[in-house]
Amino acid sequence: MEEVLTAIGNFGFPMVTTIYLLIRMEGRMAHLTESIRSLSEVLRANQP
């Protein structure tokens, strides 16, 4: 039983932290992708 609690303590916190950060970063990545797409369109429109 003690081994299970130790395993949860060792792996549970990093897993929860990683999942939380990935969820938070997903929105920022979507915004960044849209900004890059927009920049590409502007650059393409202003080519001589």
Tens of pLDDT, residues 20-40: 999 999 989 999 999 999 999
Which percentage of the chain shows pLDDT scores above 70?
100
Extract the tokens encoding 5: 């609690």
How confident is the model at residue 21, as a pLDDT?
93
Cα–Cα distance measured from residue 35 to residue 22, given in angstroms and rounded to the nearest whole number: 20
Could you tell me where the DSSP H helices lie in 1-48? 2-45
Cα–Cα distance measured from residue 4 to residue 7, given in angstroms and rounded to the nearest whole number: 5
Q: Residue 47 — left, alpha, or beta (φ > 0 → left; ψ -120 to 50 → alpha)? A: beta
How confident is the model at residue 10, as a pLDDT?
87
